[in-house]
């Protein structure tokens, strides 16, 4: 349950990130490639995490591992792949994510933090074995 709740918080952060970029594009009439990429990636990422969170709440082990993988992918993409593909220095990317200066960076930084926490919790939840039933069976008389 904790992994699913953290995933929902991460979904909220991703939606906040995508919505902020969409509003920026509308207000400034500036739909650059980066703004479009941020909006599309935020919506797709939030949708994928939402589906994996639903499977996590349904207590499906493959869904929990999928949630873990998606969150690890998001963290690695945000911390390593995005700066490499855009030619941004790592220090600048870390300042953007964890400097909490602008709304966009705050949303992306919090999404990265919550995705890292979700990945850890999902890995723990998926690797724990249960030797009994998930819920107590009703008494039969």
Does the pLDDT value for residue 140 go beyond 80? no
Residue 5 or residue 1, greater confidence = 5
Cα–Cα distance between 141 and 130 in angstroms, integer? 27
DSSP, residue by residue, 12-78:
HHHHHHHHHHHHHHHHHT---HHHHHHHHHHHHHHHHHHHHHHHHHTT-HHHHHHHHHHHHHHHHII
For residue range 19-57, list pLDDT tens digits in order: 999 999 999 888 888 889 889 999 999 999 999 999 888
Find the mean pLDDT for residues 65-70: 92
């Amino acid at each position: 349950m904790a992994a699913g709740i953290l995933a929902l918080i991460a979904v909220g952060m991703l939606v906040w990130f995508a919505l902020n970029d969409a509003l920026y594009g509308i207000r400034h009439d500036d739909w650059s490639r980066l703004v479009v990429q941020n909006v599309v990636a935020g919506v797709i990422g939030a949708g994928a995490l939402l589906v994996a969170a639903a499977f996590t709440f349904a207590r499906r082990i493959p869904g929990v591992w999928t949630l873990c993988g998606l969150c690890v992918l998001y963290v690695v993409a945000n911390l390593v792949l995005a700066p490499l593909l855009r030619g941004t220095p790592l220090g600048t990317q870390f300042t953007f994510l964890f400097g909490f200066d602008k709304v966009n960076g705050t949303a992306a930084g919090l999404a990265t933090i919550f995705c890292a926490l979700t990945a850890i919790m999902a890995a723990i939840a998926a690797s724990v074995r249960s030797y009994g039933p998930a819920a107590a069976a009703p008494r039969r008389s």
